[in-house]
Amino acid sequence: MDANLTRIVQGGGTTRILDLYSITRAHKHDLDFDQRPVFKNPKLNHSFLIKHTVRPHERALMSVDAAVVTKVIIPVSIDDLGMGGHSLFVEERRGLAKLRLFLDLTVEGGDNIDDDLTRLRELAKLPSFDPFLLADRFLKHERPVDPRYLQIAPKERKAMQAYVARQIAGVVGLAFGRENLAEDDARAMKFAVEIIEGNDTAKMNALRQTLGMTPEEFADGMYGWKGVLYYRWKLHDATDRLRKFVIEMDDVIIRGVTPSERQQINEIQRLILRETRQRWAALISVLDGFQQEFDRFCSSGNAETIRDFLLKADSYFYHLGSDLSALSHVTSYWEYWWRHRDPDSLSARDAMEIFPAFLRSLIRDRGDGVPKVLVT
């Protein structure tokens, strides 16, 4: 049983938490909202889904060997989150029996939840819950979800506004007839809010005409642009932590290590750093490619290339979300691990526990140069 759930309320989606409770409650009076739910079961559609780093004592519960699993928390009362909730892991053994119990279903019968179980497994396979990765998977799904489930959480929307304003200052001039605008101009901030919120304004229409797009193309293009800006902001926000992780991983002293352990640990460290840099490079390649086209558009006004990029931007979302979530996982867990420990050294036992977990999170193909100790 999880205690007071108010601390995990997000009001929308983040990379780690999908707050279906808040979204469902916010739109419960919208006439068409319940036509495309994430889950058919009302209790499940008021749940919280969390990407959770597996702790050592939890590994025996799991049916899979994974560094990150998906936790489902079902509130005891949708009217009082202070009463806590029932929780389970999608990947745990006997999870189905536990879920049926929490949903007041019998093991043998009750409501048919096959579609919801399929959806749970689909969500569990995703590396994160960022709204653009979810949209890539579920907006055009054979069982699509309402777009209102795929909104950026309010705290994240507010946090990214200033960054987005700086990024788009050049294009604001085009929307305002090429006036000279400073990066912190109030109009740039207002325009950033309109992009993030998806508002349809006269300035947006002016930009659509500049880009030579139909209304449908412009809607798709703006969504793609918002996604790219979201990932650029996330990457910018994670850069210092990632740099710190790479330095500390490279410099950490392992205590009490035997010669054979030293060889293994050195190899795992090498692979962790290699995979970290490769995922970072993949992110930078896509996002910098967009920025180059964006800068060219701002300087020349030639809309053809940026228009094409915007229209295909959503095809990058899954890979961007996967790379970013993998990097965020290792850096956040690394910080969590050191919270009450000596930051300069690590015991051989601890290194052999957390380093393989990091590599499992980072590596795309376990068969590609992974020591046997990592896949047992």
DSSP string, 148-175: GGGPBPHHHHHHHHHHHHHHHHHHHHHH
| Rama region for 371: left / alpha / beta (φ>0; ψ in -120 to 50; rest) | beta
Q: Collapse the DSSP code of 209 into the 3-class scheme (helix H, G, I; strand E, B; otherwise coil) and give the result.
A: helix
Instruction: Return all residues near 43 (Cβ < 8 A) that are at least 6 apart.
Output: 74, 78, 102, 103, 104
* Residue pLDDT, tens place only, 177-197: 545 444 446 767 777 777 777
**82 vs 111, residue with greater confidence:** 82
Q: Cα-atom radius of gyration of the chain, to the nearest Å?
A: 23
Burial 142-161 (b: 16+ CB within 10 A, else e): eeebbeebbbbbeebbeebb
Cα pseudo-dihedral 178, 179, 182, 188, rounded to 10: -70
pLDDT attached to residue 111: 57
Identify the CA nearest to 64 among candidates 50, 74, 51, 54.
54
pLDDT attached to residue 375: 27
User: Residue 220: how many CB atoms within 10 A of its CB?
Assistant: 17
Paired strand residues for 253: 345
User: Residue 293: how many CB atoms within 10 A of its CB?
Assistant: 18
Distance CA 193, CA 199 (A): 8
For the segment 5-10, the average pLDDT, to the nearest whole number, is 89
pLDDT of 89 higher than 80: yes
pTM equals: 0.81
pLDDT attached to residue 37: 94
Tokens 């094409």 found at: 308
pLDDT attached to residue 314: 85
For the segment 80-97, the average pLDDT, to the nearest whole number, is 90
pLDDT of 71 higher than 90: yes
pLDDT attached to residue 277: 94
Of 55-69, 83-97, 290-304, the one with minimum mean pLDDT is 290-304
**Residues 293 and 309 sit within 8 Å (Cβ to Cβ):** yes
Identify the CA nearest to 12 among candidates 122, 159, 110.
159
pLDDT attached to residue 124: 93
**Within the chain, how many helices (H) and strands (E) appear?**
12, 6
Paired strand residues for 50: 17, 71
Q: How sure is the predictor about 112, in pLDDT bands with cuts at 50, 70 and 90?
A: low
For the segment 110-131, the average pLDDT, to the nearest whole number, is 87
Q: Collapse the DSSP code of 74 into the 3-class scheme (helix H, G, I; strand E, B; otherwise coil) and give the result.
A: strand
User: Residue 372: how many CB atoms within 10 A of its CB?
Assistant: 7
pLDDT attached to residue 170: 63
Question: Phi, psi at residue 106, to the nearest 5°?
Answer: -85, 155
Question: Phi, psi at residue 11, to the nearest 5°?
Answer: 80, 5
What's the chain's average pLDDT? 83
Distance CA 191, CA 179 (A): 14
pLDDT attached to residue 154: 86
**372 vs 306, residue with greater confidence:** 306
pLDDT attached to residue 103: 87
Q: Collapse the DSSP code of 236 into the 3-class scheme (helix H, G, I; strand E, B; otherwise coil) and give the result.
A: helix
User: Measured between alpha carbons, how far apart are the two ends of the chain, in Å?
Assistant: 32
For the segment 324-333, the average pLDDT, to the nearest whole number, is 89
For the segment 256-269, the average pLDDT, to the nearest whole number, is 92
Give the E-state strand segments of the chain in sequence order.
17-19, 48-53, 68-75, 85-89, 253-255, 345-347
pLDDT attached to residue 177: 53
pLDDT of 242 higher than 90: yes
For the segment 295-303, the average pLDDT, to the nearest whole number, is 73
Tokens 């990058």 found at: 316
Q: How sure is the predictor about 2, in pLDDT bands with cuts at 50, 70 and 90?
A: confident
* Residue pLDDT, tens place only, 266-279: 999 999 999 999 99
